[in-house]
Amino acid sequence: MPSNFYNRRFVLSSAAAGLGVSLMPLPALALSEASAVSLVGAMVADINKTIASGKSEAAMIRDFEKLFAKYADTVIMARYALGVDARQASKSQMRAFTKAFQGYIAGKYGKRFREFIGGRLEVVSARQIKAGYEVKCTAFLTGEAPFEVTFLVSDKSGKDKFFNMFIEGVNLLLTERTEIGAMLDRRGGDIDAMISDLQKLS
């Protein structure tokens, strides 16, 4: 896997990665293995379609950002990323943070998908977990050994969405929780100031 695909400063143990799963709520009954696989399959098809589109890299990145925003449950992800500070935030602060986080996360990880240009993703397996379903994919990149990309899917928001992503075991949610926590620390716990900083990164 290319070293620039994902920030490896937060490579986590399997136990820490599992923490991100165990803290999520139980799934609604409407979600099934088939629907979880269908969601990831549709997303993978859209990613592969974009990869094969022949568009410029800049245009592909814009498309990847839209796909991330379409398929990810960024509301759940935002609340988890803010951690215990979400309990202290007002409703207006949570709305502002969620909006800023949505733009930030869609842009950041949409850009990461550019590493798939010239390659492809394939869905290989699925299994039920407490939070919903885990869907594993294999990424094939030109000149690189295949590697695993895993999506966790739930329907807590009322629609089937993925709420976490692992790339070679690196947990997106825990990574972003660390990043947001560091941003908040730099602002002395001032949520509004942190939101302003996050908006600039969107």
Rounded distance between C-alpha atoms, residue 3 and residue 1, angstroms? 6
Neighbour tally for 190: CB within 10 Å: 12
Copy the structure tokens of residue 118: 């010239």
Rounded distance between C-alpha atoms, residue 185 and residue 181, angstroms? 6
Please provide the average confidence, as pLDDT, over all residues in the chain: 83
pLDDT tens profile 116-138: 888 888 999 999 999 999 999 99
Nearest CA among 92, 74, 108 for reference residue 179: 108
Structural domains of the chain, with CATH: 11-74+99-171 (3.10.450.50)
Q: How confident is the model at residue 41 (pLDDT cuts 50, 70, 90)?
A: very high
Nearest CA among 179, 170, 173, 138 for reference residue 8: 170
**At which residue do the structure tokens 């990880």 appear?**
109
Rounded distance between C-alpha atoms, residue 158 and residue 160, angstroms? 7
User: Do residues 36 and 153 touch, judged by C-beta distance below 8 A?
Assistant: yes
In sequence order, the β-bridge partners of residue 149 are 137, 167
Question: In the prediction, which pLDDT does 201 show?
Answer: 87
